[in-house]
A = this chain, B = another copy of it.
């Protein structure tokens, strides 16, 4: 049986302020939890509705799991994990960096984290008003990649000022990604779903880049931001390899 206080604790962790206060977050699903454990994430509780598990977890009933889950349907595993503390080291800017300026949709951020993992980008810099990466929907849509990609929430202006890398900004009016050299170590900035890159951040952009669209596609004016990240990283991969 799960206690009322545990139900409350886990339900409260839906809210960013409780995650901030406690330093905890919730992860659901066997594969995700396994990947967090492999990446040495510390946990305070692991729960399961299964009898045999590949890692130690407390058994609870399916009915009880349904009271805990952050989603419509519960999975077989739920864990309460400690949020990691990452430090960004400017002296070890070992690879290109993705910078997100006020991304608001959890599914978009999760997909961006997953895509960074695919392309070997290990540091993701998020403005402080970007949706929290330990929001359960972000954790879920990152499909385990949250265990491998480090999300740093910092003030973008001092960060961009301090970095020595070239700064590209995704925009509707810029050079076509296929015509530019994306094969150096660089920073790629992507803006909010509705408003794009903010004017303050825009001042630090060295090069605006665009994903060209079909000439007949006159009525569509933007691509999904996670998709834009993927297309830019794919083109960067092609140029490097």
Q: Please list the residues of chain A having a beta carbon within 8 angstroms of any beta carbon in chain B.
A: 35, 38, 107, 111, 114-115, 117-120, 141, 143-145, 148, 178, 211-217, 219-220, 222-224, 226-227, 230-231, 234-235, 237-238, 241
Asked if residues B211 and A234 are in contact (CB atoms below 8 Å), the reply is yes
Contacts A/B (CB < 8 Å), 15 sampled: A111-B224, A114-B223, A118-B223, A119-B217, A120-B215, A143-B222, A144-B219, A148-B219, A224-B226, A226-B226, A227-B227, A230-B230, A230-B231, A231-B234, A235-B238
Shortest CB distance A160–B (Å): 24
In Å, the complex CA distance between A144 and B222 comes to 11
Asked if residues B114 and A238 are in contact (CB atoms below 8 Å), the reply is no
Asked if residues B224 and A117 are in contact (CB atoms below 8 Å), the reply is no
Closest chain B residue, CB of each to CB of A212 = B237
Contact residues in B for A235 (Cβ distance below 8 Å)? 234, 238
A212-B241 in contact given A220-B114, A220-B118 (Cβ < 8 Å): yes
In Å, the complex CA distance between A75 and B212 comes to 31
Asked if residues A213 and B178 are in contact (CB atoms below 8 Å), the reply is no
In Å, the complex CA distance between A35 and B237 comes to 36
A117-B220 in contact given A235-B238, A237-B214 (Cβ < 8 Å): yes
